Amino acid sequence: MSIPIQSHRQTLTPELARLNREIEQYARGYGLDFYETIFEVLDFEEMNMVAAYGGFPNRYPHWKFGMEYERLNKSYAYGLQKIYEMVINNDPCYAYLLECNHLVDQKLVMAHVYGHCDFFKNNIWFSKTNRKMMDIMANHATKIRKYIDKYGLERVEGFIDLCLCLDDLIDHHSVFIERRPKRKEHTEEEPAVVKKIAASEYMDEFINPKEFIEQQKQRLEDERLKRRRFPEEHQKDVLLFLIENAPLETWQRDVLWMIREEAYYFAPQAQTKIMNEGWATYWHAKIMTERALNDAEVIDFADHHSGTVAAHPGQINPYRLGFELWKDIEDRWNKGKFGKDYDECDDYISKREWDIGLGLGREKIFETRRVHNDITFIDAFFTEEFCHEHRFFRYQFNSERGVYEIADRNWKNIKQKLLFSLTNFGQPLIYVADGNFENRGELLLDHRHD
């Protein structure tokens, strides 16, 4: 199903434009650094259309987008879900506001968006993403529509189905690795020597006929190919291996390349979900409470912000976890709650009231924003004190009492479980082990999991 994106998206009203200038000024005043950000106003149907396309107004036609659009529409109709905003990592950044939002919500969303835009521009894990992805996505859509016209919808869509089943089999870290080209050693292999059956010279052509010799040469060649590893090392980027080696038609190879390119674009967003949402929430809270709110808006803001950072039984709210961690980092580095002296202090009251007036909190959170992803972020800053203070425990449902109960308070267990869930997005690691398994032209994948 293809979703027609309407072309009548609205620009900002004069009042929203004024609020945008105001919020942008506040954001830059706090030190946020972002690309030009273009806001557009959509009604809920248009918002759902764009959301179904992953935030982009133009994508290739595929039934999965139609299915997502129907899900979002029904969720909105039944009051289960409402999208307040979306922002796209691009230069310039594009952000969408929901038309029916109250002004206080629009201000909150703008502040939240500028937090995201700062993160997109400055976090190292986004540094390799294509900053013109709006154009790239539109180009992909045009090319795939041409393939549909040429080869038929059923054939092209069926192949895209197969590609999407594999779109997470990429090497997320490969974009940061510069590998030296492998030297090709021009050593010629000695031809296989067939051992003949011992026979008298005059009987040789009968005991070792030509057909027998050729069969033995082919057998030795097959064995030689089996011994040659292909690829030489395990390869994590399965999509790239298929693009380079699979027996695909030219258009299929091109489609697979496009799916892979889009997968690499979206990967950093999954790698930094907790940090990114927490960073945006931190800044919308600070900008709104310290600068942008007027007296009449305080209650509405508090209500909507508390909903954003609320705890959800049985699952981690990335907005809450990220927001609280950013606040904790700033507080610890302002008070000097780190380092050898603090770690070796055994007095509970002294540690709780520790404050040497270091004042490095703001500097530390900007430094952290620049270099970490979710795994290193949690590993470095999820402490015992933080875990207990914010009650990030493991819960399980008590069916007899009908309530969730704490099942584990051990912060190391909880941290380890959280890190495992983030490693490779909680999915097993899959590598290409052999591209020609047993010389049958089959692909052998190595499936690793804990």
Residue 198 has pLDDT above 80, yes or no: no
pLDDT in tens, 51-96: 999 999 999 999 999 999 999 989 888 877 778 789 999 999 999 9
Query: What was the pLDDT predicted at 8?
Result: 45
Band (111; pLDDT cuts 50, 70, 90): very high
Locate tokens 């507080």: which residue?
Answer: 331
pLDDT in tens, 289-319: 999 999 999 999 999 999 999 988 778 999 9
Separation of alpha carbons 138 and 324, rounded Å: 38
Query: What was the pLDDT predicted at 183?
Result: 53
What Å distances lie between residue 350 and 94, 181, 346, 356, 387, CA to CA? 48, 57, 8, 12, 19
pLDDT in tens, 30-51: 999 999 999 999 998 999 999 9
pLDDT in tens, 243-260: 999 999 999 999 999 999
Band (218; pLDDT cuts 50, 70, 90): confident
Q: Average pLDDT over the chain, rounded to whole?
A: 89
Separation of alpha carbons 261 and 93, rounded Å: 19
First CA to last CA distance, the chain: 38
Could you tell me which of 51, 98, 87 has the C-alpha nearest to residue 70? 51
The structure's pTM equals 0.86
pLDDT in tens, 383-404: 999 999 999 988 888 888 888 8
What Å distances lie between residue 31 and 113, 119, 156, 322, 385, CA to CA? 15, 12, 47, 19, 29
pLDDT in tens, 143-166: 999 999 999 999 999 999 999 999
What Å distances lie between residue 183 and 110, 158, 180, 189, CA to CA? 52, 39, 9, 17
Whether 296 and 328 have beta carbons less than 8 Å apart is answered as no
Separation of alpha carbons 147 and 253, rounded Å: 12
* Residues 76-84: contacts with CB under 8 Å, at least 24 apart: 76/44, 76/48, 82/44, 83/44, 83/47, 83/48, 83/51, 84/109
Whether 59 and 65 have beta carbons less than 8 Å apart is answered as yes
